[in-house]
């Protein structure tokens, strides 16, 4: 059982880091054109059933009724893929390192040996993980949604699409 606790410690640390990164995701950059011709720019914070919330650069939020919106233009930059790939590659390499060290251990390796093997093979695994993340990375997403004449199911689908790009997608 003493060999298992380094694996558990590394696994918990990696997944805690992924969870923290997910909570910090920004919303899409948004430009909302109102029916009266005005525009509101900022970050898409949340999309509710009858309104959207935009946060400007100073942190002030503006709630806009869906009935007042003509068009919403969104731009979402997706950059996490390389970072996530590197983290997962490091984790996989670290697990392989611990397993390899355990297979060769005859009771003489100790915690330092396990940590060295995990760190070295973790770094080796991070490089292909980051490259794989870069290879599958999606380009920036740009979406333009005309809201003005939508109602019923088409409006619900448009709002659902916008909700996926908001900072807080679950706020209703």
Across the range 78-82, mean pLDDT stands at 63
Hey, where are the domains in the chain? Answer: 25-78+139-163, 80-135
14 secondary structure, DSSP code:
H
Average pLDDT, the chain: 77
- pLDDT tens digits for 124-154? 777 777 777 767 665 666 788 888 888 889 9
pTM value is: 0.56
CATH class entry, domain 25-78+139-163? mainly beta
Measure Cα distances from 120 to 17, 88, 106 in Å: 19, 15, 20
Structural contact between residues 27 and 43, judged by C-beta atoms closer than 8 angstroms: yes
- pLDDT tens digits for 12-50? 665 555 544 445 578 889 999 999 999 999 999 999 989
State how far the Cα of 154 lies from the Cα of 5, in Å rounded to an integer.
52
């Amino acid at each position: 059982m003493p060999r298992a606790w380094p694996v558990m410690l590394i696994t918990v640390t990696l997944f805690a880091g992924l969870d923290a990164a997910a909570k910090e995701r920004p919303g899409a950059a948004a430009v909302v054109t109102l029916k009266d011709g005005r525009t509101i720019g900022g970050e898409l914070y949340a999309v509710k059933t009858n309104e959207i919330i935009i946060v400007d650069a100073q942190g002030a939020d503006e709630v806009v009724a869906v009935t007042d919106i003509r068009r919403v233009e969104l731009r979402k930059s997706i950059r996490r893929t390389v970072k996530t790939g590197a983290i997962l590659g490091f984790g996989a390499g670290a697990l392989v390192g611990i397993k390899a060290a355990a297979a060769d251990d005859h009771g003489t390796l100790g915690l330092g040996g396990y940590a060295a093997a995990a760190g070295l093979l973790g770094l080796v695994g991070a490089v292909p993980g980051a490259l794989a993340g870069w290879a599958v990375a999606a380009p920036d997403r740009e979406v333009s949604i005309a809201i003005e004449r939508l109602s019923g199911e088409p409006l619900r689908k448009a709002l659902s699409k916008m909700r996926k790009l908001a900072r807080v997608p679950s706020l209703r």
